[in-house]
Structure 1
Amino acid sequence: MSAEELDRKQIEILRILSEHVEPIGSSIIQRELAKRGFLLSERAVRYHLKILEERGFVEGHERIGRRITEKGLEELTRALAYERMGSILTKYMSLAYKTTYYPDNNSGDVVANITVIDKSHAEEAIDLIRSLYENGLLPAPYYMIIEENEEYRSVSAPEGKIALLTVCNLTIDGVLMKNGIPIFLKYGGLVQFLRRKPIRFVDVLDYEHTTIHPLEIFVYKRATSILNVLKTGSGMVPANMREIPAEAEEKTIEIIDKMVRKGWSGILKIGRSNEPVLGIPVSLDRFGISMAGGITPAAAIVERGIQVETFAPHCLANMKDMKKV
Structure 2
Amino acid sequence: MEIPMGNNAEEYPPTVIEILRSLYFSEDPLTSVELKEQLDKRGFSIDDRTVRYHLSNLEKEGLITRFGRKGVMLTVEGSEEARAIFVFDRIGLSSMETEMLIMKSDLDPCSNKGKVIVNITSVPEELKDEALSLLAEVSESNVIVSPLVAVLPQGKRIWNYRVPEGRCAILCLSSANYDVALRRCGVYVETVATGLFRLQGYKGKGFVDVISHSGTTLSPGELLIRGGFTDVMSAVRTGKGCVTAAIKTFPSFMYEKVVEAIKDCKNDNISGLFELGYLMPPKYQMSIKDRTRGYMLIFGGANYLAPLVECGITDALSIASGLYDIEDMRLPKEIQ
Calculate the TM-score normalised by the size of structure 2. 0.73
* Distance in structure 2 (CA, Å) of the matches to 1:239 and 1:295: 10
Distance 1:60 1:93, change over 3 A: closer
1:4 is displaced (CA, Å) by 7.9
Contact 2:191 2:248 in 1 (8 A): yes
Corresponding residue number in structure 1 for 2:306: 299
- Per-residue Cα deviation, 1:152-206 (whole angstroms, up to 9, x for no partner): 5675422210011111110111110121002121001111111112221111111
Deviation at 1:130, TM superposition (A): 3.1
Within 2, Cα distance between the matches of 1:314 and 1:45? 17
Q: Distance in 2 between matches of 1:97 and 1:57?
A: 29
* Distance of aligned partners of 1:322 and 1:85 in 2 relative to their CA distance in 1, 3 Å threshold: closer
Q: 1:154 to 1:86 in 2, by over 3 A?
A: closer
Q: How many residues align?
A: 283
Residue number in structure 1 paired with 2:274: 268
Q: Which of 166, 170, 189 is 2:195 aligned to?
A: 189
Unaligned runs of 5+ in 1: 13-37, 69-76
- Label 1:9 to 1:159 Cα distance change in 2 as closer, same or farther (>3 A): farther
Partner of 1:98: 104
Residue 91 of structure 2 is matched in structure 1 by 87
What one-letter code is carried by the residue in structure 1 that aligns with 2:174? Answer: C
Between stretches 81-90 and 139-148, larger displacement belongs to: 81-90
1:168 paired to 2:174 = yes
Whether 1:312 and 2:309 are equivalent positions in the alignment is no
178-187 or 52-61: bigger deviation: 52-61
From 225, 239, 242, the counterpart of 1:236: 242
State the Cα deviation string for residues 69-107 of structure 1 (Å, max 9, x = none).
xxxxxxxx9997765255153132432232211122110
Alignment partner of 1:57: what SS? helix
Structure 1 residues 299 and 251: alpha-carbon distance in aligned structure 2, compared to 1, 3 A threshold: same
Corresponding position of 1:280? 284
Cα distance in 2 for partners of 1:4, 1:112 equals 27
TM-score (structure 1 length as normaliser)? 0.75
Q: Distance in 2 between matches of 1:97 and 1:155?
A: 19
CA contact (8 A) 2:141 2:236 kept: yes
Q: 1:144 matched to which residue of 2? A: 150
Give CA deviations for 1:282-313 in whole Å, capped at 9, x if unaligned. 61221211111122123211111212311111
Q: Between the two proteins, what is the percent identity of the paired residues?
A: 22
3-state SS of the aligned residue for 1:224?
coil
What corresponds to 2:206 in structure 1?
A: 200
TM superposition shift of 1:253: 1.9
Letter in 1 for 2:135: I
Equivalent-residue separation in structure 2 for 1:252 and 1:173 (angstroms): 11
- Gap change, CA 1:5 and 1:285, over 3 Å in 2: same
Q: Secondary structure at the match of 1:92?
A: helix
Query: CA offsets, 1:221-248, max 9 Å, x none?
Result: 2110111101110110012111111111
Q: Is the 8 A contact 1:106 1:262 kept in 2?
A: no
2:305 partner letter: A
- 2-side partners of 1:45 and 1:99: how far apart? 18
Computed over aligned residues only, the root mean square deviation of the Cα atoms, in angstroms, reads 3.5
Equivalent residue for 2:54? Answer: 57
